[in-house]
Amino acid sequence: MNLPDNHTERLERARLSLEGLAIGDAFGEMLAYQGASARERVERGLMAGPWFYTDDTAMALGVFEVLRLRGSIDPNELALQFAERFRREPERGYGTMARVILRRILAGESWQRAAGSAFGGTGSMGNGAAMRVAPLGAYFAEDLDTCLRAEAVLSAGVTHAHREGISGAIAIATAAAMAWRLRGMPKAQAAIELLQTVYDRTPDGETRIGIARAQKLPFFTAPAIAARVLGNGSAVTAPDTVPFVLWSAAKHLDDYREALIDTVIADGDCDTNCAMVGGIVALYAGRESIPEDWQAARERFDWEEKP
């Protein structure tokens, strides 16, 4: 197995994205459907923790682990990672179809069959492949023109056979890679470039049409209005989730705290929306942009020391 020369450096930034994702996930879960009071609650100070993460982070941990071990996505290994984490902790808030697919993999069925037969054979177009992929985008940030897209596709296919489910993963992985690559650029310019690059590299379809709509929506638009135009994940599909997430991440690329507040205010699939935004914004804004008390409150991953 060939790990890239700068494997440690790549993992380091995948880890930053993973932490941004996990904090976003827990934040979104805590404040879900309390958009109206979210800002006030944050300003008063959120609870000390642990802030428990959900399925979004559990699956992102699976992606991270495969990259740590292999330096690329082996879908068989990834399917085992997902299935094993689901077996150990089934109550992390997995969606109905994810539960069906993971149970079938645990029962010995191939991921190809399990993922391919979802929704009567069309495959899932849910936002689940996108929600876990930001750390992968970080890991392959310098491979935007070579293998990033192929790796994102491999990571998605284990559970999402529908092309929209896969497009969502390509879009979010590209956004994460761009957030890292654009760090030196002023925010306003970086936001425009990020959205354009994601649009250019997302396959044709509904998700891509939504991204074009996000590019045209001014950043001064209120989150609730933006959600009405772009979707907010209420339908838990990629086209209903990814355009709004990209818009919200681009809008607040340099401010992790503000990014999450504005994202949760839009309601919808709050934990997943915030997980994706957090996994992207952390890469541009850096760890220092994540409030220290939030970092301390985050539930530790199974391989981390408990505080």
- Enumerate the known binding-site residues for Mg(2+): 54-56, 269, 271-272
| Residue closest to 46 by CA, chosen among 55, 54, 34, 38 | 38
Piece of the chain touching Mg ion by CB under 5 A; list 66-74, 151-159, 210-218, 264-272: 264-272
**Min dist. Cβ of residue 37 to Mg ion (A):** 21
Distance CA 285, CA 275 (A): 15
Q: Is 93 in the site for Mg ion (CB under 5 A)?
A: yes
Please give the structure tokens belonging to residue 250.
């681009």
Name the residue number minimizing CB distance to Mg ion. Answer: 54
Nearer to Mg ion, 62 or 195 (CB): 62
Which residues are within 8 A (CB) of 188 and not within 5 positions of it... i.e. 6 or more apart?
none
**Min dist. Cβ of residue 24 to Mg ion (A):** 11
Please give the structure tokens belonging to residue 88.
């150990």
56, 275 contact by CB (below 8 A)? yes
Q: Is 269 in the site for Mg ion (CB under 5 A)?
A: no
Distance CA 87, CA 75 (A): 18
Q: Residues 19, 55, 206, 262: which binds Mg ion (CB under 5 A)?
A: 55
Q: Which amino acid is at 78?
A: L
Piece of the chain touching Mg ion by CB under 5 A; list 88-96, 100-108, 181-189, 239-247: 88-96
Nearer to Mg ion, 72 or 232 (CB): 232
| Residue closest to 4 by CA, chosen among 175, 150, 133, 142 | 142
Which residues are within 8 A (CB) of 304 and not within 5 positions of it... i.e. 6 or more apart?
none
Per-residue binding string, Mg ion, 183-212, x by CB under 5 A, is: ------------------------------
* Helices 206-216, 187-201: inter-axial angle, 10-degree rounding: 160
Q: Which residue has the tokens 């999402």?
A: 160
Q: Residues 65, 164, 267, 271: which binds Mg ion (CB under 5 A)?
A: 271
Distance CA 220, CA 290 (A): 23
Q: Is 151 in the site for Mg ion (CB under 5 A)?
A: no
Nearer to Mg ion, 82 or 199 (CB): 82
Nearer to Mg ion, 55 or 65 (CB): 55
The binding site for Mg ion (CB under 5 A) comprises 54-56, 93, 271
